[in-house]
Amino acid sequence: MDFDLSEEQRMLKESVDRLLEDRYSFEQRKTYTRAADGWSRELWKQYADLGLLGVPFSQDHGGFGGGPVETMILMEAFGKALVLEPYFATVILFGGAVKIAGSEAQKADLLPKVAEGKLLGAFAHSERDSRYDLADVKTTAKKDGTGWVLDGEKTVVIHGDCADKLVVSARVSGGQRDKDGLALFLVDAKAPGVTRKGYPTQDSLRAADITLKGVKVAASDVLGEPGKAYAAIEKIAQSAIQALSAEAVGGMQEMLDITVEYLKTRQQFGVPIGSFQALQHRAVDMLVATEQARSMAMFAAMMVDEKDAEERAKAISACKVHIGKSGRYVGQQSIQLHGGIGMTLEYKVGHYFIRSTMIEILFGDTDHHLAALARAGGLIPAGTTA
Amino acid sequence: MELQFTAEENAFRNEARDFFRSALPDAIRNRVQRGQHLAKEDIVAWQRILNKKGWATPMWPVELGGTGWDAVRYFIYKEEMTRANAPEPLGMNVHMVGPVIINFGTDEQKQFFLPKVQNLDIWFCQGFSEPGSGSDLASLKTSAVRDGDHYVINGQKIWTSGAHRADWMFGLFRTDPNAKKQRGISYILLDMKSAGVTVRPIITMDHGHTVNEVFFDNVRVPVKNLIGEENKGWSYAKFLLGNERVGIARVGFSAGRIAYAKAIAARTVVDGRPLAEHPRFREKMALIEVELKALEITNMMVVAGMKKSGPTQDPRTSVLKLKGTEIQQALCEILLEIAGPAALAHEHAFLEGSDELITAPEWNATAAPNYFRVRAATIYGGTSEVQRNVVAKGVLGL
């Protein structure tokens, strides 16, 4: 075990930090939100040129051969800059689904395209009633000759509006909430029977509701074994949480830095408000929460590839619980310590608060994961009284 | 960055686990698990067992009896030691005075003290706080006045943990009354058997005797017991604070308390079923486990950093103190809540190490006094409020 970045990791961090420093000021970001997609195609190409879009993929698939640590480095930087581009949807979710559930041929076909920036993807899984239950899928897949026909409705598919290809979950058998009977399909976003309604989300990103009506899928576009996809879906969600945790930490650090800077410059009663102990202690508690969150993002990176499925699930839930709680704390305090200016969209701290609130909701909120962790017996096994 | 344990690290874990399991006397193990106070002999005996194995002072320099382990091995060692319900080696010796002597002591001091500190032939207590100097430690007044080859010490220390068990004290004394606060303080070692030293017990809410007042009435201490330079004592004490805080996270100890609390909850029936099965209890516990996991990783990163660059003003050391003590307190609260009415009886003899119980089950008998006692955790070693002041100023620049 070693907490220092390797030479390659350091270079990765430096290159992404440098790019975002040049291209992602708060003002520049505003102009990207006004583009047709709500993000910058030109920057997407730069991410591709720098190799960022292939970071988690193996070198055979045109990637960087990175693991959870490399993802952590990137996502933390993206969190700091409030990046708008669909990295999470395309690389982490869509690429992750192909990597986790796909055949060698599917990976060899799709992952290089993602890495080159030529293919945008999305993970069309959640539905109106599913909330945080990963097994809750009503969309159906019916056998049709050698292929399948999909019918159903997916909601709040992150960056589903701009995606070229979707990974769609559907039920081949069983009841609405059964873990058995799920399957994953690759669906062209423009395939007949697919309709998309794109819209902005609270955090200036984009999402889509996607309706599937008699959508035909070839047998070669099934990811993994039909009916047995739950484990893969869970793994995709866990990778997503690992990535989101790092993004959240980047955001928390930024909220802390912005707030501390404000405390030093804002004058009231003839002194900087940072000279008041009540505010100092609040800022310190923000720092404590941020550092602890960073440790949990590190823990998620340690555990996301753990072979023992139960230990892995508990660790990821533990991480999401902490990120949810600490993100909420740091966010709320950063607004409070700013006072009125913190409430406005003109000022940047509120944008971090919004994103941090959305991260808490994505892939299971604090209560959901705390209940899951508690049901599973927690992180530490019971001892004996003897 | 490599976030997995290597095969060698896992092999070391097995070695440590086997050693602690076989080497720790059952009587000591039981007392630690039940939250009873340890006798001085228990602590001495255990440290000598560790020392024989070469594991009493793992992080000291190798030539002075350290193991040469990296931070990861040290963590595995601590984790396995506490998991086995072994007491930790005496912190005042191993983490506090030892490193100061190693870094600032003379060769003669090193030769005389270090082997004895390591083997617990000498038990050290810390003479820092005074009645008028708590959080504002630098205002301390107990004076050491030079008289030939001796200092003559007059004044009073308070809250001195283990002074009644100690052979020696390392303390801060004012050697220059005219210098500004921090500048006139010296770090001096003194023999507790010296004429003019009086120790008076202070009994705390748990009815336990841990802390004391120590009075100095013209106590003569040879000048050769001064550490480093006269009037530079404050900087040596500050050097210590980082060390103290790494230990103060007490991650392994808290993990052991969680495992024990779960075991007790499994045999405590509430509304017709074990408390351990109640979702509310499980969630309360899980939340503490999450906080502890975060602290454990922070602790590992801090120690990994210290191992590379020496003691630093790493902001995370204050995080360790703040969060570590909050978690210890939360766990003592939970143990008290689990005990419920079984915590009411005053089982003093049991708390002090006897096997005799008046009425309470052995796993509930120390819940109340340990809860009372742990309130001190956010007060000693720099109160939580002082920690926040330090971070606000030193890290955030406020």
Distance from CA of B185 to the nearest CA of A (A): 28
Q: Chain B: residue nearest A371 by CA?
A: B283
pLDDT at B349: 95
Cβ distance A274 to B398 less than 8 Å, yes or no, reads: yes
Q: What's the confidence (pLDDT) of residue B74?
A: 87
On whether the CB atoms of residues B85 and B24 are closer than 8 A, the answer is yes
In 10 A of CB A344, how many CB atoms? 11
Distance of residue B264 Cα from the nearest chain A Cα, in angstroms: 6
Question: What's the confidence (pLDDT) of residue B313?
Answer: 61
Q: Between chains, do B262 and A298 touch, taking CB under 8 Å as contact? A: no
| Angstroms from B398 CA to nearest CA on chain A | 6
Q: Which residues of A touch B363 (CB under 8 A)?
A: 385
Structure ipTM: 0.95
Structure tokens at B17: 């686990």
CB atoms inside a 10 Å sphere around CB B132: 11
Give the number of A-B residue pairs with CB atoms closer than 8 Å.
Answer: 164
pLDDT for res B241? 67
Within 13 Å and on the Cβ side, how many CA atoms surround B371? 18
Q: What domains lie within chain B, and their CATH numbers?
A: 7-89 (no CATH), 124-231 (2.40.110.10), 249-394 (1.20.140.10)
Task: Give the Cα-Cα-Cα angle B346, B349, B353 (nearest 5 degrees).
Answer: 125
Judged by CB atoms closer than 8 Å, whether chains meet at A378 and B289 is answered as yes
Contact A296 B294 (CB under 8 A): yes
Task: Please report the DSSP string for B309-332 in residue order.
Answer: H-S---THHHHHHHHHHHHHHHHH
Nearest CA in chain A to B364: A385
Determine the distance in angstroms separating the CA of A346 from the nearest CA of chain B, rounded to an integer: 25
- Closest-CA residue in chain B for A322? B290
Who among A264, A287, A296 is closest to B395 (CB)?
A: A287
CB B120 within 8 A of CB B43: yes
Q: How many CA atoms lie within 13 A of B12 on its CB side?
A: 17
CB atoms A383 and B262 under 8 Å: yes
Instruction: Name the residue facing A385 among B4, B322, B363 (closest C-beta).
Output: B363
Cα B112 to Cα B120: distance, rounded to the nearest angstrom: 13
pLDDT tens-digit readout, A331-343: 999 999 999 999 9
Chain A residue with minimum CA distance to B255: A380
Contact B391 A275 (CB under 8 A): no
Q: What is the CATH number of domain A122-228?
A: 2.40.110.10
**Token digits of residue B337:** 């809540």
> What helix, strand, coil percent values describe chain A, rounded to 5?
55, 15, 30
Q: Encode chain A (386 residues) as per-residue pLDDT tens digits.
A: 788 899 999 999 999 999 999 999 999 999 999 999 999 999 999 999 999 999 999 999 999 999 999 999 999 999 999 999 999 999 999 999 999 999 999 999 999 999 999 999 999 999 999 999 999 999 999 999 999 999 999 999 999 999 999 999 999 999 999 999 999 999 999 999 999 999 999 999 999 999 999 999 999 999 999 999 999 999 999 999 999 999 999 999 999 999 999 999 999 999 999 999 999 999 999 999 999 999 999 999 999 999 999 999 999 999 999 999 999 999 999 999 999 999 999 999 999 999 999 999 999 999 999 999 999 999 999 998 87
Instruction: Look at A321 and B392 and tell me if their CB atoms are within 8 Å.
Output: no
User: Bridge-partner residues for B187, per DSSP?
Assistant: B172, B227
Chain B residues near residue A384 by CB distance under 8 angstroms: 263
At B299 the pLDDT is 87
Count the neighbouring beta carbons within 10 Å of the beta carbon of residue A268. 10
Of A296, A299, A383, the CB nearest to B260: A383
What are the structural domain ranges in chain A? 7-119, 122-228, 231-375
Query: For A145, left (φ over 0), alpha (ψ -120 to 50), or beta?
Result: left
pLDDT of res. B247: 65
Q: Which CATH class is domain A7-119?
A: mainly alpha
pLDDT above 70 for B334: yes
- CATH architecture of the domain with range A231-375: Up-down Bundle (1.20)
Give the chain B residue whose CA is nearest to the CA of A9.
Answer: B1
Whether the pLDDT of residue B331 is over 60: the answer is yes
A301, closest residue in chain B (CA to CA): B3
Mutate which: B26, B245, B254, B293, vs A, most A CBs within 10 A = B293
On whether the CB atoms of residues A174 and A180 are closer than 8 A, the answer is yes
Q: Are A133 and A175 in contact (CB under 8 A)?
A: no
User: Cβ A378–B285 below 8 Å, yes or no?
Assistant: yes
The beta-carbon neighbor of B396 closest among A2, A260, A321 is A260
pLDDT attached to residue B316: 78
B315:A260 CB<8 A: no
Q: How far is CA B30 from the centre of its chain?
A: 20
Interface residue of A287, A316, A323, A365 to substitute, partner B, most B CBs within 10 Å: A287
Average pLDDT over residues B84-111: 95
| B246, B95 Cβ separation under 8 angstroms | yes
- Measure A18 CA to nearest chain B CA, in Å: 21
Contact (CB, 8 A) for B249 and B299:
yes
**How far apart, in whole angstroms, are the C-alpha atoms of residue A61 and residue B130?**
67
Q: Which residue of A has its CA nearest to B8?
A: A1
Measured between CA atoms, how close is A237 to chain B, in angstroms? 19
The mean of the pLDDT values for chain A is 97
Q: Which residue has the tokens 């997407």?
A: A44
Of B2, B289, B392, the CB nearest to A284: B392
Confidence grade of residue B242 (pLDDT, cut at 50, 70, 90): low
Q: What is the pLDDT of residues B178-199, one digit of tens each?
A: 998 889 999 999 999 999 999 9
CA angle B264, B268, B274 (to 5 degrees): 110
Kindly report the backbone phi and psi dihedral angles of residue A221, in degrees, each rounded to the nearest multiple of 5, phi listed first.
-100, 15
Using the beta-carbon criterion (under 8 Å), do A378 and B286 form an inter-chain contact? yes
- Residue B308: what pLDDT? 66
Write the CB contacts of B255 (distance below 8 Å, at least 6 apart in sequence): A380, B79, B82, B83, B292, B296
What count of other Cβ atoms lies within 10 Å of the Cβ of residue B131?
13
Of B290, B322, B362, the CB nearest to A288: B322
Which residues are within 8 A (CB) of A71 and not within 5 positions of it... i.e. 6 or more apart? A55, A56, A92, A239, A242, A243, A246, A301
The torsion angles phi and psi of A280, rounded to 5 degrees, stand at: -60, -45
Instruction: Please tell me which of the candidates B255, B263, B388 has its beta carbon nearest to residue A284.
Output: B388
**B312 has a pLDDT exceeding 70:** no
Contact residues, chain A, for B318 at CB < 8 Å: 284
User: Phi and psi at residue A240, in whole multiples of 5°?
Assistant: -65, -45
Alpha-carbon span B117 to A341, nearest angstrom: 57
pLDDT tens by residue, B344-372: 999 999 999 999 999 999 999 999 999 99
Q: pLDDT for A134-189, tens place per residue?
A: 999 999 999 999 999 999 999 999 999 999 999 999 999 999 999 999 999 999 99
Q: How deeply is B273 buried, as exposed, middle or buried, from its count of CB atoms within 10 A (0-12, 13-18, 19+)? A: exposed
Instruction: Give pLDDT, residue B310.
Output: 58
Report how far apart the first and last C-alpha atoms of chain A are (Å, whole number). Answer: 34
Whole-angstrom distance, CA of residue A94 vs CA of residue A77 = 20
Judging contacts by C-beta atoms under 8 Å, the chain B residues touching residue A261 are none
**Banded model confidence at residue B135, pLDDT cuts 50, 70, 90:** confident
What's the pLDDT at A365? 98
The answer, yes or no, to whether residue B158 has pLDDT greater than 70, is: yes
CB B197 within 8 A of CB B214: yes
Cα–Cα distances in Å, from B177 out to A91, B85, B139, B170, B197?
66, 46, 10, 20, 22
Closest alpha carbon to A260 in A249, A242, A272, A271: A272
Catalytic positions of B, written as ranges: 244
Cα of B48 to nearest chain A Cα, Å = 26
Helix axes B233-248, B279-309, angle to 10 degrees: 140
